């Protein structure tokens, strides 16, 4: 199924496409761009409502000084963009917009990888040109971030569907997983100027091509994901897993070709993009050179005692391996083992509890099913009685989700678990989809079979999942746009 094969018109679903057998044209026959765009439009309206109804909280989050150099006489188009989209430019979104418009001006910015800001910069140039420069560059960048995120979100959703169908062969389950992705607890971060939408599209795309055993294509997707977010580097695990899986199925004479593919994939995915970015950071900050920033921007940054590029030489430049990322995360964000374990951070642990609970529950159930299958050998009913998400095909996804869950819990700011796992792990959407299976599936209407918002026979856990998603969409949007702690 091509990514370009989208249809327009009224939403319709064939009965055969929603059965347990897969109709190859099922996803193409479901006009789903329209509901996804409506979903994004509703989120924009919700953002406008909260942004203008509730006064902004005075947070200590970074505010880009770019607006200090924007002319005071704004145009009508600027006013419209500010009014309708201004609430999205919060928290880390300020960093991404700042880097896109001004570059890596100071050391803190190096925590944000370059793929997304570069994409914003290229897109905003076109928007500025076609708007005849009636938009300030800042607002053109903000608008481009929304457009890019919507497109990437749609692509990521299709890849999630394709992965699910390919692995489990059940389009009902795949459609429900797709729907849950549309109301993900991390929804606000998929639309605000964050890199989550781009990252999910690249990660899910790479996974899909791994499943198809197209390792060179997968490596390109994963290379781009590694330039988008630091956790993109661990996507190499998918390449190695599926490459090993293929190696066990082919004849010995084919191994040299496969080995060459693996070496190429590993090189592109892990070393080249990451090292290029680290070299770029080194060249920017590890040599004394005059800055080229507007004076008002330079004064704003130096007043806040940050390391402006070309001024002070950071300590990490003197390291034998001058990698900036881990040092900056530790120095400016206090990232490290158990550093976040403080009583004042309890609300953030509670915020992350649902997504981490899903990861833990999925992992425990997966291990339980494996133990049951092991004890019942030779296999009788154990293999057939468990849901496909607990079968061997999903093992690498369970390992991936538990690794990210443990990392965010013990090492990172735990509240980022929702967006980090929600943009990286298909397994959480499979787990929620499995939990939303009702007890009267055979009596549901066609739409109810895959739409979690229409199901009326949900168990308590299913209702809890639905409440969790919708609560995080609404409350998360309200808190995020008003500078309240939802990061």
pLDDT digits (tens, 9 = 90+) for 329-345: 998 898 999 999 999 99
Measuring CA to CA, which residue among 358, 486, 373 is closest to residue 434?
358
Q: Beta strands of 321-473 (E only): which ranges?
A: none
Among 247, 279, 311, which residue terminates a domain? Answer: 279
Among 223, 252, 279, which residue terminates a domain? Answer: 279
Q: How far apart are CA 473 and CA 462, in angstroms?
A: 17
Q: How far apart are CA 354 and CA 470, in angstroms?
A: 13
Question: Do 241 and 94 share a domain, yes or no?
Answer: yes
Question: Do 255 and 355 share a domain, yes or no?
Answer: no
Give the burial string for 50-82 (b: 16+ CB within 10 Å, else e).
bbeeeeeeeeeebebbbeebeeeebbebbeebb
Q: What letter does residue 186 receive in the DSSP assignment?
A: T
Tell me, yes or no, whether 395 lies in a domain: yes
Residues with Cβ < 8 Å from 467, sequence gap 6 or more? none
**Which position has the token pair 């018109």?**
9
To 10 degrees, what angle do helices 137-168 and 196-211 make?
30
To 10 degrees, what angle do helices 33-53 and 171-182 make?
20
Among 279, 312, 329, which residue terminates a domain? Answer: 279
Question: Do 349 and 241 share a domain, yes or no?
Answer: no
pLDDT at 276: 92
Q: How many domains does the chain have?
A: 2
Tell me, yes or no, whether 314 lies in a domain: no
Tell me, yes or no, whether 187 lies in a domain: no
Question: Do 355 and 429 share a domain, yes or no?
Answer: yes
H-type helices in 169-235, by residue range? 171-182, 187-191, 196-211, 215-226
Q: What percent of the chain has pLDDT over 90?
A: 55
Tell me, yes or no, whether 2 lies in a domain: no
Instruction: Decide: 149 and 193 in contact? Cβ < 8 Å.
Output: yes
Q: For residue 110, what are the domain limits? A: 15-170+198-279
Question: Phi-psi region for residue 75, left (φ > 0), alpha (ψ -120 to 50) or beta?
Answer: beta
Tell me, yes or no, whether 414 lies in a domain: yes
Residues with Cβ < 8 Å from 465, sequence gap 6 or more? 180, 432, 435, 436, 452
Question: Do 224 and 352 share a domain, yes or no?
Answer: no
Q: Is 447 exposed, middle or buried (0-12, 13-18, 19+ CB in 10 A)?
A: middle
pLDDT at 387: 78
By residue count, the chain amounts to: 487
Greatest mean pLDDT range, 264-268, 293-297, 378-382, 418-422:
418-422
Tell me, yes or no, whether 82 lies in a domain: yes
pLDDT at 439: 45
Q: How far apart are CA 256 and CA 246, in angstroms?
A: 13
Question: Do 109 and 208 share a domain, yes or no?
Answer: yes
Question: Do 107 and 217 share a domain, yes or no?
Answer: yes
Q: How far apart are CA 487 and CA 326, in angstroms?
A: 20
Question: Do 349 and 275 share a domain, yes or no?
Answer: no
- CA-CA-CA-CA dihedral for 388, 389, 393, 394, to nearest 10: 180
Which whole-number Å values give the CA distances from 293 to 119, 288, 449, in the listed order?
Answer: 22, 15, 57
Q: Give the predicted TM-score (pTM) of the model.
A: 0.89
Q: Which residue has the higher pLDDT, 379 or 227?
A: 227
Question: Do 224 and 362 share a domain, yes or no?
Answer: no
Tell me, yes or no, whether 185 lies in a domain: no
User: Does pLDDT of 254 surpass 80?
Assistant: no
pLDDT at 9: 35
Question: Do 121 and 35 share a domain, yes or no?
Answer: yes
User: Does pLDDT of 119 surpass 90?
Assistant: yes
Tell me, yes or no, whether 290 lies in a domain: no
Question: Do 274 and 347 share a domain, yes or no?
Answer: no
Cα 466 to chain centroid distance, Å, stands at 20
Q: For the segment 380-436, what is each residue's pLDDT rounded down to a tens digit?
A: 444 445 678 888 889 999 999 999 999 999 999 999 999 999 999 999 999 999 998
pLDDT at 24: 46
Q: How far apart are CA 328 and CA 316, in angstroms?
A: 9
- Average pLDDT of span 93-116: 95
User: Does pLDDT of 70 surpass 60?
Assistant: yes
Q: What sign does the dihedral 451-425-414-308 (CA atoms) show?
A: negative
Q: For the segment 339-368, what is each residue's pLDDT rounded down to a tens digit?
A: 999 999 999 999 999 999 999 999 999 888
86 pLDDT band, cuts 50/70/90, is very high
**Which position has the token pair 């499979």?**
430
pLDDT at 252: 61
Instruction: Decide: 206 and 238 in contact? Cβ < 8 Å.
Output: yes
Residues with Cβ < 8 Å from 285, sequence gap 6 or more? 107, 110, 307, 309, 310, 313, 314, 317, 324
Question: Do 96 and 240 share a domain, yes or no?
Answer: yes
């Amino acid at each position: 199924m091509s990514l370009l094969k989208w249809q327009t018109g009224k939403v319709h679903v064939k009965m055969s496409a929603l059965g347990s057998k897969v109709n190859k044209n099922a996803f193409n026959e479901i006009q789903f761009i329209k509901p996804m765009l409506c979903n994004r439009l509703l989120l924009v309206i919700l953002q406008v409502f909260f942004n203008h109804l509730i006064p902004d909280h005075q947070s200590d989050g970074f505010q880009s000084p770019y607006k200090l150099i924007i002319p005071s006489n704004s145009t009508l188009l600027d006013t419209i963009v500010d009014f309708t989209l201004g609430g999205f430019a919060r928290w880390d979104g300020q960093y991404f917009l700042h880097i896109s418009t001004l570059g890596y001006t100071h050391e803190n910015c190096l925590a944000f990888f370059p793929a997304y800001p570069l994409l914003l910069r290229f897109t905003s140039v076109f928007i500025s040109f076609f708007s005849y420069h009636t938009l300030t560059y800042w607002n053109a960048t903000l608008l481009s971030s929304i457009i890019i995120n919507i497109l990437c979100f749609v692509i990521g959703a299709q890849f999630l569907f394709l992965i699910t169908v390919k692995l489990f062969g059940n389009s009902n389950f795949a459609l429900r997983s797709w729907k849950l992705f549309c109301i993900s607890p991390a929804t606000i971060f998929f639309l605000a100027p964050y890199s989550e939408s781009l990252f999910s599209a690249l990660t899910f795309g790479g996974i899909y091509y791994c499943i198809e055993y197209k390792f060179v294509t997968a490596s390109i997707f994963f290379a781009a994901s590694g330039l988008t977010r630091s956790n993109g580097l661990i996507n190499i695990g998918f390449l190695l897993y599926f490459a090993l899986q293929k190696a066990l199925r082919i004849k010995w004479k084919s191994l040299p070709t496969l080995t060459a593919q693996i070496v190429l994939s590993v090189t592109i995915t892990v070393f080249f993009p990451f090292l290029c970015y680290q070299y770029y950071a080194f060249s920017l900050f590890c040599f004394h050179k005059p800055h080229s920033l507007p004076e008002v921007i330079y004064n704003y940054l130096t007043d806040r005692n940050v390391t402006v590029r070309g001024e002070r030489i950071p300590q990490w430049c003197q390291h034998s391996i001058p990698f900036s990322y881990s040092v900056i995360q530790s120095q400016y964000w206090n990232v490290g083992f158990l550093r976040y374990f403080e009583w004042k951070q309890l609300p953030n642990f509670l915020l992350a509890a649902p997504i981490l609970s899903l990861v833990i529950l999925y992992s425990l159930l997966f291990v339980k099913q494996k133990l049951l299958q092991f004890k019942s050998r030779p296999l009788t009913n154990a293999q057939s009685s468990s849901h496909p998400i607990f079968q061997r095909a999903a093992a690498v996804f369970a390992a991936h989700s538990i690794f990210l869950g443990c990392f965010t819990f013990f090492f990172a700011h735990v509240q980022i678990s929702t967006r980090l796992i929600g943009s990286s792990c298909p397994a959480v959407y499979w787990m929620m989809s499995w939990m939303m299976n009702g007890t009267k599936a055979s009596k549901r209407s066609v739409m109810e079979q895959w739409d979690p918002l229409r199901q009326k026979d949900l168990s308590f856990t299913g209702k809890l999942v639905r409440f969790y998603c919708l609560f995080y969409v609404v409350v998360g949007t309200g808190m995020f746009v008003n500078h309240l702690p939802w990061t």
